[in-house]
Amino acid sequence: MKTLIIILLFTILQITVSGQTVISGIVSTAEGNLPGANVYLEATYDGVSTNANGEFSFKTQKKGRMMLKASFIGFETFSKEIDLDGTPIHLEIRLTEAFNKLEAVTITAGTFEASDKKRANILTPLDMITTAGAVGDVYGALQTLPGTTTNGESGKLFVKGGDSEESQTYIDGSLVYTPYSSSAPNMSVRGRFNPFMFKGTIFSTGGYSAEYGQALSSVLLLNTNDMPVEDQLDLSFMTVGLGVAGTRLWRNGAVTASLSYNNLAPYMWVVPQNYNWVEYPTNTEGAVSLRQKTGKTGMLKIYSSYTSSQYTITQEDLNYAGKYNDYNLENGNYFVNTSWKSNLGDKWTIAMAASFTNNTDDIAYDTLNFNKLLRGAHFKNVMSYPFSNKFTIRFGAELFSKTYSQQYVTVANSIGSHFTNTTSVAFAEAEVYASSKFVTRIGARFEYSGYLQRANAAPRISAAYKISKNGQLSAAYGWFYQDPVNDYLLYTNQLKYERADHYTLSYQQSQNDRTVRAEIYYKNYSGLAKLNSEVFYLPGSYSNTGSGYAKGVDIFWRDKKSIKNGDYWVSYSFIDTKRNYRNYPETAVPGFSSKHNFAAVYKHWFGGLRSYVSLNYKYSSPRVYNNPNSEVFNGEHTKAYRSTDISWSFLLKQNVIIYAAVTNIFGYKQDYGNSYATIPDSEGVYRSAPIVAGADRFFLLACFITLSKKGEANQVDKIE
């Protein structure tokens, strides 16, 4: 009996063992074997976790075809159907990293972004306000970034060996035809828009998206604030003027209206000036901004402004010794911008934008009256559709319309010229993530000019690869086209598009509030417009035979961690560029480019003093300029540009800010070269005069007061 029981138990055990299937193997990733991964049969309790070596083994009595799965946080779940028939199964499982678009690599080649929380911030809109030397000018703050060259007699953006005409500004997706104020020759300008308007900034110095064209060197994309949070009244009292702005909210919308008046006469009476003013600069601006939510996801934005400015200055007429003429400038600028963004269904997104500009400059010089008009409109529609988290396509169309005219009125007669150009555009772009470590963006842009009767096709491609947790490589290549300058198109429509080919490679690493960035680039220019004759009004005097190149290295370092309550960044650019364009007789270094450019910015919050202090030092190596009395073209050199600036913001109360700033505190004498007569004197010499800054220093003292229900808001809150 005992023997029978033993035989029966042995038989049952044999049947049980023969009914089991042993499943074993190794789970690994691209970085090696993975401990702690879960391996199991779907819809069962059979499974196990991998050991320290990534190995696993378990038994199951299940039969037939079943789904084996392996999972680990941060990786895609592995699935494989297996046949359970008692035969041992050995698997080598490789998990791939799960895709998370919020943490995925982003393309940064040639691009500095602000206020996009999904990316490593380089500059924030707050930086635009508090950077010493910028004095509240967006373009002034950008000149502390690598790739830019400071031209003190201009004030405009000169990027990576490109002329200021090669940079374009967009607000909420639509073009700003006149982003700068108007001025006399060799006098610095400022941006037209208050930095408090903007919540985010993208400054692309090359290799940008196919969505943007008509820019050979760079695009600046400014995104305005969304819905305000409460009703408030903002008051500004400055040594150069006054301002008031009021905001009113309703259930799904808000409106802000502002009015400012600047008169530099009291300031210039006190502070010594290098110019001979007859009528000091005055400026009046009114603006209205509307925000309205539409549906569950839509947002309509409308911004409209009108600016009127004027001044008169006395300048020496270099063609006639001892003669001085008054230069009177009156500018009127009307600008309106509107945008609408919304979701269409679950996946489609639509973004529509439009802008209109009407800018007039009325100039009186000696016995000549010179009137300029630029009227431009821009319409754009962009659609995007994500086929998956890893593949998104964007496409759209836009229309540019521009009328430009000049009229010379003398005692004897009146001569006028004008042209109208309408450019039609279509573009498409696909963004493809192979994984969270690698992304590529491929696109193309197509343009047709009705005035030039020419078309172009511009391919663009960029990519980024995450080489470590916090570091990545980015590369970009593309063709970029732009119309010749307006002053040439007045007299001919036989020119072609100008072209620049961009090659950009960059490395960026961000960790613990520290960012380092290094970039190398090369730009090849072709088809640049040239004036080949002194007879500028003949169409045959123009051609597209110009060419050039620009290459260089940009380095940027920002650290907000090492010094408590401190924040600093350092940028350096090396630029090697030459070109033959406009009226250049030969290929030469252009007068707007410096080979070496350096900027260091430091900011510190003193909590006990409720003060925010900023220091800024900028240096640009000597630039070249042409002396017509010399046989060498562009053979003269300016002195190096140096400026040390300081600003101080004091929180007197939660809603009251006192602001003070001084530029060029050490009074360095800036040298921007010489201007020359257009005709030689009796001895065959072209008379000259130095080009200097309007003043050795600029001082600003201001008080900003915000009135609201809670009394806690201030004007800095708008951009934090």
DSSP 246-303: EEEEETTEEEEEEEEEEE-HHHHHHS--SSEEEEEEEEEEEEEEEEEEETTTEEEEEE
- What is the distance between the alpha carbons of residues 502 and 166, in angstroms, rounded to a whole number? 13
pLDDT band, residue 590 (cuts 50/70/90): very high
Task: Please tell me the predicted confidence (pLDDT) of residue 107.
Answer: 56
Whether the per-residue pLDDT at 400 is higher than 50: the answer is: yes
- By the 10 Å C-beta count (0-12 exposed, 13-18 middle, 19+ buried), 342 is classed as middle
User: Do the beta carbons of residue 661 and residue 718 sit within 8 Å?
Assistant: no
Question: What's the average model confidence in pLDDT over 703-709?
Answer: 87
Query: How many alpha carbons lie under 13 Å from residue 545 in its C-beta half-sphere?
Result: 12
- What is the distance between the alpha carbons of residues 226 and 293, in angstroms, rounded to a whole number? 10
Q: What angle do CA 252, 256, 258 make, to 5 degrees?
A: 175
Question: What's the average model confidence in pLDDT over 370-390?
Answer: 93
Task: Please tell me the predicted confidence (pLDDT) of residue 140.
Answer: 82
Task: Please tell me the predicted confidence (pLDDT) of residue 16.
Answer: 46
- Tokens 């101080």 locate to 648
| Mean pLDDT lowest among 70-79, 113-122, 148-157 | 113-122
Question: What's the average model confidence in pLDDT over 183-200?
Answer: 83
β pairing state of 498-511 and 514-531: antiparallel
Task: Please tell me the predicted confidence (pLDDT) of residue 38.
Answer: 92
Better-scored residue on pLDDT, 10 or 641: 641
The CA-atom distances, in angstroms, between 191 and each of 130, 149, 214 are 16, 16, 20
- What is the distance between the alpha carbons of residues 304 and 285, in angstroms, rounded to a whole number? 11
Whether the per-residue pLDDT at 114 is higher than 90: the answer is: no
- Tokens 């065959």 locate to 684
pLDDT band, residue 10 (cuts 50/70/90): very low
pLDDT band, residue 111 (cuts 50/70/90): low
Chain segment 677-692, per-residue pLDDT in tens: 989 988 889 999 999 9
- What is the distance between the alpha carbons of residues 78 and 636, in angstroms, rounded to a whole number? 69
Nearest to 303 by CA among 258, 344, 362, 349: 258
Instruction: Note the pTM of the prediction, 2 decimals.
Output: 0.85
Task: Please tell me the predicted confidence (pLDDT) of residue 495.
Answer: 95
Q: Which CATH architecture has domain 111-719?
A: Beta Barrel (2.40)
Same-fold call for 2-94 versus 111-719:
no
- By the 10 Å C-beta count (0-12 exposed, 13-18 middle, 19+ buried), 130 is classed as buried
In what helix (H) or strand (E) does residue 357 lie, and over which residues does it extend? Answer: strand 348-365
Q: Which segments of 100-161 does DSSP mark as H helices, in order?
A: 125-130, 138-142
pLDDT band, residue 253 (cuts 50/70/90): very high
Question: What's the average model confidence in pLDDT over 384-391?
Answer: 88
Whether the per-residue pLDDT at 17 is higher than 60: the answer is: no
User: Do the beta carbons of residue 167 and residue 218 sit within 8 Å?
Assistant: yes
Q: How far is CA 173 from the centre of its chain?
A: 12
DSSP string, 590-617: -TT--SEEEEEEEEEEETTTTEEEEEEE
Task: Please tell me the predicted confidence (pLDDT) of residue 535.
Answer: 87
Q: How far is CA 208 from the centre of its chain?
A: 10
Better-scored residue on pLDDT, 338 or 436: 338
The CA-atom distances, in angstroms, between 44 and each of 69, 73, 75, 356 are 11, 20, 22, 66
DSSP string, 528-570: EEEE-SS-TTSGGGEEEEEEEEEEEEEEEEEESSSSTTEEEEE
Whether the per-residue pLDDT at 115 is higher than 50: the answer is: no
Task: Please tell me the predicted confidence (pLDDT) of residue 435.
Answer: 79
Enumerate the domain spans of the chain.
Answer: 2-94, 111-719
| Mean pLDDT lowest among 10-24, 279-293, 567-581 | 10-24
CATH of 2-94, one of 2.60.40.10, 2.40.37.10, 3.40.50.880, 3.40.50.1370: 2.60.40.10
| Mean pLDDT lowest among 122-126, 218-222, 294-298, 381-385 | 122-126
